[in-house]
Amino acid sequence: MTNRPFRWDLVRPDQVGTLLDHTEKPRLWFLEDLTEATAKVLARCGNGELHFVGRSLDSMHDLLGGALERTSWHDRVHQLPISLKPRLRYSRRDVETLRENLAENGITPYSLARGTRPTVFVDLVFEGDTFTELYLRLRDWIDDEREAWHVIRRKLRFLGVTLRQQPVRPDAWRWQEDADWTRELPAAAVRNVSLARDVWFYFGDDQPKLTPSFPRQRWTDETVRTPDHGKATRRALAEAFALVEAGRSAETRDRLVRTISAEPAIAGPWLRALVTELRL
Query: pTM of the full predicted structure?
Result: 0.95
Residue 225's pLDDT is what?
92
Mean pLDDT on 154-159 = 98
Residue 173's pLDDT is what?
77
Tell me which residue of 23, 79, 74, 121 sits closest to 277, measured CA to CA: 74
Mean pLDDT on 89-95 = 92
Of residues 152 and 167, more confidently modeled: 152
User: What does the alpha-carbon distance between residue 171 and residue 182 come to, in Å, rounded to a whole number?
Assistant: 18
Tell me which residue of 80, 105, 85 sits closest to 7, measured CA to CA: 80
DSSP for residue 72: T
Residue 168's pLDDT is what?
65
Which one-letter amino acid corresponds to residue 11?
Answer: V
Helix axes 129-145, 92-104, angle to 10 degrees: 100
Tell me which residue of 52, 62, 49, 3 sits closest to 214, measured CA to CA: 3
Tell me which residue of 43, 18, 202 sits closest to 124, measured CA to CA: 202
What are 266-276's pLDDT values in tens digits?
999 999 999 99
User: What does the alpha-carbon distance between residue 159 and residue 280 come to, in Å, rounded to a whole number?
Assistant: 27
Structural contact between residues 154 and 186, judged by C-beta atoms closer than 8 angstroms: yes
Residue 229's pLDDT is what?
83
Q: What share of the chain in percent tops pLDDT 90? A: 82
Cα dihedral sign, 116-42-258-194: negative
Burial 86-95 (b: 16+ CB within 10 A, else e): eeeeeeeebe
- Helix H or strand E encompassing 254: helix 250-261
The CA–CA distances, whole Å, from 147 to 111, 113, 114 equal 10, 7, 10
Which one-letter amino acid corresponds to residue 69?
Answer: E
Radius of gyration of the chain (CA): 19
Please, which pLDDT band fits residue 14 given cuts at 50, 70 and 90?
low
Cα dihedral sign, 170-259-192-59: positive
Please tell me the least confidently modeled range out of 148-152, 238-242, 249-253.
Answer: 238-242
User: What does the alpha-carbon distance between residue 154 and residue 52 come to, in Å, rounded to a whole number?
Assistant: 20
Residue 13's pLDDT is what?
61
Structural contact between residues 32 and 59, judged by C-beta atoms closer than 8 angstroms: no
Tell me which residue of 222, 220, 211, 132 sits closest to 178, measured CA to CA: 132
Torsion angle, CA of 246/247/248/251, rounded to 10 degrees? 70
Please, which pLDDT band fits residue 205 given cuts at 50, 70 and 90?
very high
